[in-house]
Structure 1
């Protein structure tokens, strides 16, 4: 193998490299070093993460095995440092966009996709916006986060992956998020995505996010969902509610339904495709 294909895309500027590997023959088990090189913004393509597109029947990850019979496709998602993650709300919309444009999936029907957080479905409206049913949130109590000498109370919300949502007076309060914010390691032994939130008006908030394994990103879909749930609880409005969530890369819309599901709506755009040249110093698979 001298090269393999890739695509590049984003959802509200949360950007990803997609690796088509339908039969699991190109990458097998993705090498963390390859993921890190692909995501490197100077020595690679540059991205917040990698989405490998593989059929559930062709991958032996326990989550892919569990998805068989309910979803044809599995999203093998990796953070920018090569570590695995359970879910990515912006990434799964982009993943579904790829399936529609390149794998013949019908956009008029709900698209089931296997993930490490279970099987989730994506739908498209007539304007092309994608909505993913993120399932049921879990609100797991209060915790705290810190940046330098400053600390804030936070709400622990799971959207299949862990989040700590902190309300602040200004998004500048958190300062530069070059390093992971401090958190309670007993609560988050495997790290946490941290969201800092300000209110802009009724059911309208803005956020910054530091994603575990990737650093500060322009957007985080699961983070926007966690922020919406924490905001709705704090505002006393609960379910059957929609919020606008502004992120540095655009705007997402999040609805918490009466059935206790969270729906995330936003753009998903493929911007480029090409071939990555294989080098001996970066293995394709582990």
Structure 2
């Protein structure tokens, strides 16, 4: 088995992972091993697996990719696998969990110390440790998620098997693909007028949402309700649920939170959003060429595999 005997169970606002360090590059997992470990009945259980390794020891990266990560200052790489064993480009919650784990291993400085430049398949992400932040958690990290791209507003139709109705979705590229659909608007601005799906809380996301036109890479789909907007402060509040490719509904999705804030900014002009997911509360700030995510991470414990 190409998995170490001891692994860690951790989560970022409920988005949970099996985590381990591989500083020698000898524990690259197979897809079957990932599926077994992430199985919630027969394994440790998780939405995915996080392997902390040096970029040179991640076999699917090209020499050019490794060189780019190294030249950008990334000594460590978040090798992230979805629960079904597939490779993933990026995971916002996973970066915070990886940073907290790196901190416990002595690979990242304590809160207030030097930021960690973490390699991902979507490039280098810079994480700063903030420690305890009221309203967000005890082990809060700020992530510079870097640039983003978005397609035409409401260009996709989103439906859910078993539910009547549909909503319009907007494509956002956060290094991984997302389609964001706004289903509710409590502000009275009519920003969810195109949706005939049920309320966000009433959705059955055990069924994989259908996106039309089809996106060949598959995608995460976010379903959003707008709760409030303070135009004077330039802030808003929203809630969101997500179905992630490769693992189904999760309690949180960091890149999905960013995609949600990007979409909300486009239709409201508001740059900063406090977003509640089933696993907690996070803050996202969006500019024309960058997005920042702030939220908590937690290590649950260490597991000895047999």
TM-score by length of 2: 0.84
- Select 2:76's aligned residue among 43, 59, 73: 73
Instruction: Return the alpha-carbon distance in structure 1 between the equivalents of residues 285 and 225 of structure 2.
Output: 18
Instruction: Return the alpha-carbon distance in structure 2 between the equivalents of residues 218 and 38 of structure 1.
Output: 19
Partner of 1:147: 160
Q: Is the 8 A contact 2:157 2:213 kept in 1?
A: no
Partner of 1:98: 101
* Structure 1 runs not aligned, ≥5 long: 278-286
3-state SS of 2:166 partner: strand
Instruction: Return the alpha-carbon distance in structure 1 between the equivalents of residues 18 and 222 of structure 2.
Output: 24
Instruction: Return the alpha-carbon distance in structure 1 between the equivalents of residues 213 and 41 of structure 2.
Output: 32
Partner of 1:252: 282
3-state SS of 2:285 partner: strand
Compare relative contact order (CA 8 Å, sep 6+) and give the higher one, 1 or 2.
1
Partner of 1:120: 125
Where does 1:122-141 land on structure 2 (aligned, <5 Å)?
122-127=127-132, 128-141=139-152
Superposition misfits of 4+ residues, deviation over 6 angstroms:
none
1:104 CA drift (Å): 3.5
Instruction: Return the alpha-carbon distance in structure 1 between the equivalents of residues 103 and 37 of structure 2.
Output: 24
Instruction: Return the alpha-carbon distance in structure 2 between the equivalents of residues 40 and 265 of structure 1.
Output: 29
Instruction: Return the alpha-carbon distance in structure 2 between the equivalents of residues 41 and 166 of structure 1.
Output: 29
Deviations 1:66-86 (A, max 9, x none): 312320001110001000111
User: Number of aligned pairs?
Assistant: 269
1:137 CA drift (Å): 1.4
Deviations 1:242-280 (A, max 9, x none): 11010011101001136x211100001111112222xxx
Q: Is the 8 A contact 1:87 1:222 kept in 2?
A: yes
Deviations 1:45-88 (A, max 9, x none): 11001001111233342244531232000111000100011100
Say if 2:214 is the partner of 1:199: no
Partner of 1:41: 40
Instruction: Return the alpha-carbon distance in structure 2 between the equivalents of residues 102 and 78 of structure 1.
Output: 21
Q: Is the 8 A contact 1:57 1:72 kept in 2?
A: no
Q: What RMSD, in angstroms, separates the aligned Cα atoms of the two structures? A: 1.7
- Select 2:293's aligned residue among 246, 260, 264: 264
Instruction: Return the alpha-carbon distance in structure 1 between the equivalents of residues 147 and 27 of structure 2.
Output: 34
1:3 CA drift (Å): 5.5
1:126 CA drift (Å): 4.3
Q: Is the 8 A contact 2:144 2:292 kept in 1?
A: yes
Instruction: Return the alpha-carbon distance in structure 1 between the equivalents of residues 268 and 304 of structure 2.
Output: 48
Q: Specify whether residues 49 and 131 from structure 1 end up closer, same or farther in structure 2 by C-alpha distance, changes over 3 A only.
A: same
Partner of 1:184: 212
